[in-house]
Structure 1
Amino acid sequence: MPALTLAQADQMISAALAAARAAGHAAMAVVVLDESGHLKAARREDGASMFRIDIATGKAWAAVGMGTSSRKLAERAQGNPVFFNSLASTAGGRFLAQTGAVLIRDAAGAVLGAIGASGGSGDQDEAICISGVEAAGLAVG
């Protein structure tokens, strides 16, 4: 199974932050995790609050852990809040079912990891993540 490289993670983060700057979003943080939820790369822009890395990580960790975008997790959480609160508790607070992270897939559809962002609205965070993945020539899952 191909692994996500540091060069790909850096490329995704750079492209995501460039998309945020082009759109005029607030200062952002972007995190890339591998398929096991381990940190591959992270960057926090000047002016982004101290919570941004943790929030972006929680979104990406939830996405890779559950095998779907954080948008879908947020939608599912509305109908099953007890289960999703239990997931967050079981995960030691690292699980955040909030829009702003997507899976990273290779051309064959295998999950390579997840990218999450924090600093804008959930929609803005998700959009820059998608831009980052696409810039690296990978697929969004």
Structure 2
Amino acid sequence: MAFTLDEAQRIVSIALNHGRDAGWNPLSAVVLDAGGHPIAFARSDGASPGRYAIAEAKAYGAIMLGMGGRAQMARAEAQAYFMGTVNGVFGGKVLPVPGGVLVRDLDGAVIGAVGVTGDSSDNDAEAACAGITAVGYTPEP
């Protein structure tokens, strides 16, 4: 199973609205497919333009390493050399912090990832999870 464009756009919209409704800083969100390719992206009014690269790096690391941002951060803290090397292998496109969330389908297969940025990393992860859950998939932050 894979994301549909409609699902990806809904995830992004719900994540951004979640942050706005909570009164957080403006968020940006991206949805990547299981190969790490972007399907949908949006940036809230007032979000800085550099947020695309940050959101993508959060999601890309989740896809390429098969673990959400929280697990990546723990790995970076325990094995900084490994994560630094991995980031080099992937051309600097891995940002090992919360806000990069794996997406699993009903069978438990990874079908993509969502990256959210703009507020605290924990809030970013919460917004991503809200979007993922709303369309019926399982988030792995």
Task: Please give the residue correspondences for 1:17-36 in structure 2 after superposition, counting only pairs within 5 Å.
Answer: 17-36=16-35
Deviating beyond 6 angstroms after TM superposition, the runs of 4 or more aligned structure 1 residues are none
The 5-angstrom pairing of residues 1-141 of structure 1 reads: 2-141=1-140
Counterpart-to-counterpart distance in 2, 1:3 and 1:134: 15
Amino acid at match of 2:121: G
For 1:23 and 1:101, the matched residues in 2 are separated by 19
Give unpaired runs (5+ residues) of structure 2.
none
CA offset digits 1:27-81 (Å, max 9, x no partner)? 1100000001001111111211122110010000000111111111001100111
Name the CA distance, whole Å, in 1 between partners of 2:35 and 2:112. Answer: 7
- Once the two structures are superposed, residues 58-116 of structure 1 have per-residue CA deviations (whole angstroms, 9 ceiling, x without a partner) of 00000011111111100110011111111111111111111111111111101110001
CA distance in 2, matches of 1:90, 1:68: 17
**Cα RMSD (Å):** 0.8
The one-letter code sitting in structure 1 at the alignment partner of 2:79 is N
Q: Distance in 2 between matches of 1:40 and 1:134?
A: 18
The DSSP-based 3-state class of the residue aligned with 2:40 is strand
Q: Distance in 2 between matches of 1:93 and 1:12?
A: 26
Read off the aligned partner of 2:19 and give its amino acid letter: A
What is the alpha-carbon distance in structure 1 between the residues aligned to residue 107 and residue 24 of structure 2?
Answer: 33
Separation in structure 2 between the aligned mates of residue 17 and residue 45 of structure 1, nearest angstrom: 7
Write the distance in 2 (CA, Å) between the matches of 1:140 and 1:117. Answer: 13
User: Deviation string for 1:97-136 (max 9, x for gaps)?
Assistant: 1111111111110111000101000100000000000111
Given the two structures, how large is their TM-score scaled by the length of structure 1? 0.96
